[in-house]
Structure 1
Amino acid sequence: MTTALIVLAHGSTDSRWQAPFETLEQRLKARMTTPVRLAYMELCDPLIENVVAELHAEGFNTIDILPLFFAAGRHLREDVPGQLDALRKEHPELSLTLLDPVGQHPSFADVVVSIVAENQRDSTCTE
């Protein structure tokens, strides 16, 4: 197996902000056959540059990057592609693919509807 998945979050210096992403990484690792790693764009570790280097050292030559963003704003149109271009120059043998952000996936709205329905059901049970 030579393909890995990086789930990419923005990054924050607040460890409480980081915790849900770390939990998501563990849940994905438990459910997926593809190796999954969490990385951050900036502000905290592990940075995407370090995770790509680690995966490359482990023998992965194809890495998909799934942004945990709702939409493709400046970071996903400019900053992250710039980071990936620099990584491609450093590791020309790697295939790095930036996937669409999770918020643009057609199933995203379905997941949000499910969450709202579950929360409404739970709130009516406690009243």
Structure 2
Amino acid sequence: MSTPLVLVAHGSRDPRSARAMAAAAAAVRGARPDLDVRLCFLDLSAPSVEQVVDAVASEGHAAAVVVPLLLGSAFHARVDLPGLLAAERVRHPGLDLVQADVLGDDERLIAAVRDRAVTAGAAADDPSVGVVLAAVGSSRGEANARTSAIAPRLLSGTAWSGVEVCFATTEPTLPQAVTRLCAAGARRIVVAPWFLAPGLLTDRIDAAADAVAPDALRADVIGDHPLLVEVVLDRYRAALPRTRTTRAA
């Protein structure tokens, strides 16, 4: 019996978000049909973490690896999810729950965003293209700085005139990013979301683009990109040796 892989997504009132995460989970299952892959959500969407852990325990599993479908190591990864898993360990003392690392700013996810931009029509060898990398944003300056550091990594290997980061919840805003790109010589703008799934915040970014750059190309979210699947499975494999059953073997 393989150790289950429990994917934990953020959750949203927007049903598109849950559908996108379900597609990502399906892609992981497709890559590893031998693996027991389950999806749950921290909030607002079903099933919950508690429901999935209950099912894993009731089926007699000794351990599970929990992979957060999160791009940053913020409150949900550092406080919320560990607290939930601690409570589940009390409820199910025979089940070893190991939390894997977040997806983070893995180079493969940056490559996935680059691929989404190219698929949207922003040829990698086109110097007239300027890319707005749109992210959530945080109240913590250091978190925003880490996201901003993705810009030159996304630009690498292309002839694009520049990449500017904007945030849905703080500055710099999308209009500010577009202004900077145009000043640097960009004549074609592509908005590339640093998001796993669509939702209210990606709609906010799209609305801002409609207002200041209506002709901008719109790249898709990372979603079920094959490179996301690679990262998820790597996080699972890295955490697997930390399970109690593996340590005892």
Q: CA RMSD in A?
A: 2.0
Structure 1's 14 and 118: CA in aligned 2 closer, same or farther, altered over 3 A?
closer
Deviations 1:15-59 (A, max 9, x none): 122110111112211221211011001112100110011011122
Q: How many Å separate the matches in 2 of 1:16 and 1:88?
A: 31
Query: How many matched pairs?
Result: 123
Deviation at 1:112, TM superposition (A): 2.9
TM-score (norm 2): 0.46
Kept after mapping to 2: 8 A contact 1:2/1:62 = no
Q: How many Å separate the matches in 1 of 2:38 and 2:107?
A: 23
TM-score (norm 1): 0.85
In the other structure, the counterpart of 2:31 is 31
Q: How many Å separate the matches in 2 of 1:104 and 1:39?
A: 22
- Unaligned 5+ residue runs, structure 1? none
Report the residue type matching 1:4 in the other structure: P
Deviations 1:51-109 (A, max 9, x none): 01101112222111111111110111111100000001111111111111112445333
Higher relative contact order (CA 8 A, sep 6+): 1
Deviation at 1:2, TM superposition (A): 4.1
Kept after mapping to 1: 8 A contact 2:2/2:35 = no
SS in 1 for 2:104: helix
In the other structure, the counterpart of 1:68 is 69
SS in 1 for 2:64: strand
Report the residue type matching 2:50 in the other structure: E
SS in 1 for 2:87: helix
User: What pairs with 1:1-127 in structure 2 (closer than 5 Å)?
Assistant: 1-32=1-32, 33-119=34-120, 120-121=122-123
Q: How many Å separate the matches in 1 of 2:14 and 2:60?
A: 32
